[in-house]
Amino acid sequence: MLKLLRRLAQFFQDKVGWNRVGIVLSLAIITVAAVVLFNMLRDIKVDEVVRALKAVEPHHIAAAALFVAGGYFTLTFYDLFALRTIGRPEIPYRIAALSGFTSYSVGHNVGATVFTGGAVRYRIYSHYGLDAVEVAKICFVAGLTFWLGNATVLGLSVLYDPAAASPIDQLPPFINRLIALGLLTALISYVAWVWSAPREIGKGGWKVRLPNGPSTLLQIGIGILDLTCCALAMYMLLPTVPGVGFVSILVVFVSATLLGFASHAPGGLGVFDAAMLVALWQFDKEDVLAGLLIFRVLYYLVPFAFALVILGLRELWLNTRGTREPHELRTVRAAEPLRSEIEQDIEKTGTGG
């Protein structure tokens, strides 16, 4: 059965191409989101949205900002975990934090996070001796953390409240619960797989050793904490009436986030918002829209501005210092001549010299 699936996947890749499927899927998601937004917002009243914005309590906005800060703090551990996974533990946390915060802040707003975030990471890590392949491995491990966290949160939350996902996927609750069970089963199988023996994927220099069982649980925990903080920020910006539980908001938030990510639109703009408006039908549209506007300012615009300032100051500092290398990289460079002499002595010994 597994061989048959592999053959079908190879045939599909050769004849159709997964890239084309991705492009079609992105365009389809964006088109549907645009239609939904047009139908939902065409009769919206601006003064009602302004009223809803003013109605949000300042301490709720402050709490949401703290949860957003917590989410971005968690993102710094995506890079730290990835560095340890690929065997570069000498890179200090402050560099991992700088890379994690700035790459995600830029990637979230510009879109195509894999490429934009990867470019920011390369600019930072190349100064510490990492090459493009190592940066690509960091992006892969960080992306794996994101998907494992999403799969866990979505599986557990939908299993608990399957009806919350129905407005988005238009499936009955019992089908959603079955999907959640399948997702959690696949997740448990993956953890058991990496726990049973060392696992690697890729070929040649692109080979990546996957985190083992305990490390994968830590990886999942990082992803869960990140998503929980972000969902709590959104939860704080919604009205208290009607009373919608946090788990329901969590289901909606993660589903909307994944749709926005699949669309490759900058910040999931339009797609994320349409999914939230559709799924949170219990609230007035103006209230949801007000919450979304504040969330976008807190989660997207403010971190993006901070990231640009930080990156700009860093470039200015590097140019002021000239091309001097950091201490960690200088240590590696200093060891290279000694290493070469040792290798030459070994070669002479081996050839009878």
pLDDT at 15: 59
| DSSP secondary structure code for residue 17 in this structure | -
Q: Give me 258's structure tokens.
A: 């994944």
Higher pLDDT, 194 or 319: 194
- 35 lies in a domain? no
328 inside domain = no
Range of the domain at 191: 59-322
CA atoms within 13 A on the CB side of 94: 3
| Tens digit of each residue's pLDDT (9 = 90 or more) over 319-350 | 887 655 454 555 544 444 444 444 454 444 44
Residue 73 forms part of a structural domain: yes
Domain count, the chain: 1
Instruction: Tell me the percentage of the chain whose pLDDT exceeds 70.
Output: 83
Question: Residue 351: is its pLDDT beyond 80?
Answer: no
Is 133 inside a domain boundary?
A: yes
Are residues 45 and 52 in contact, defined by beta-carbon separation less than 8 angstroms? no
Greater pLDDT, 230 or 8: 230
What pLDDT is attached to residue 329?
Answer: 52
Average pLDDT over residues 159-177: 92
Q: Which of 49, 15, 130, 45 is nearest to 82 (CA)?
A: 130
Mean per-residue pLDDT over the chain, rounded: 84
Distance of alpha carbon 103 from alpha carbon 124, whole angstroms: 10
In a domain, residue 331? The reply is no
Average of per-residue pLDDT across 134-147: 93
Residue at 111 is within a domain:
yes
Tell me the one-letter amino acid at 23.
I
Neighbours of 137 (CB within 10 A): 24
Please give the structure tokens belonging to residue 96: 């991992």
Residue 261: inside a domain, yes or no? yes
33 pLDDT band, cuts 50/70/90, is: confident
Q: Is the peptide bond before 214 cis (omega within 30 degrees of 0)?
A: no
Tracing tokens 């009769």 back to the chain, one arrives at 43
Predicted TM-score (pTM) of the model is 0.81
Whether 15 is covered by a domain: the verdict is: no
Instruction: Say how far apart CA 54 and CA 52 lie, in whole Å.
Output: 5
Mean pLDDT on 132-157: 93
Predicted local distance difference test score (pLDDT) of residue 352: 42
Phi, psi of 62 (to 5 degrees): -65, -40
Q: How many CB atoms lie within 10 A of CB 319?
A: 9
Residue 216 confidence (pLDDT): 94
Q: For residues 128 and 91, is the Cβ–Cβ distance under 8 A?
A: yes
